[in-house]
Amino acid sequence: MAEFRAVDDFNKYINNNLVDGESGMFLSQEAFDLLPEIQKRTNYTKLEKGFGSLEGLYANNRVYKDITTRVNGDAGTMGNLSRALYSGFLRAKGISQASKTIYSPVTQVRT
């Protein structure tokens, strides 16, 4: 639910602040119609279903690629499970090492 809300907030921000802006990252249908034909075909992609409130806008091809590329770090269930197990292992290793050095009375006396 939090991810859905974050994406929705991001899309609203884009709609309110970046559509038809000077950067040319997102264009409305009206602004897109004013572009030369060559620029329409080579520089912009229409955002179709799945983009929520951005549906129907045109995105610069570089921006479109950035917002549609899957992040490899979010590899699904197995990736998240592996990350959680490894994280637990590293946490236990850190506690073990700290107890042998920092929290050891012998280490504190040796100074």
| 91: its two tokens | 């946490």
pLDDT at 83 over 90: no
Domains of the chain, by residue range, sit at 2-68, 77-109
| 51: its two tokens | 């983009």
Task: Identify each DSSP E strand in 32-109 by its residue range.
Answer: 44-46, 58-60
| 9: its two tokens | 């907030």
Task: Identify each DSSP E strand in 15-79 by its residue range.
Answer: 26-27, 44-46, 58-60
pLDDT average, residue stretch 65-86: 78
Cβ 19 vs Cβ 27: under 8 Å: yes
Cβ 61 vs Cβ 44: under 8 Å: yes
Instruction: Give which of 31, 28, 57, 35 is closest to 45, Cα–Cα.
Output: 57
| 94: its two tokens | 């850190």
pLDDT in tens, 1-52: 777 788 888 888 888 888 888 878 899 899 899 989 988 889 999 988 888 8
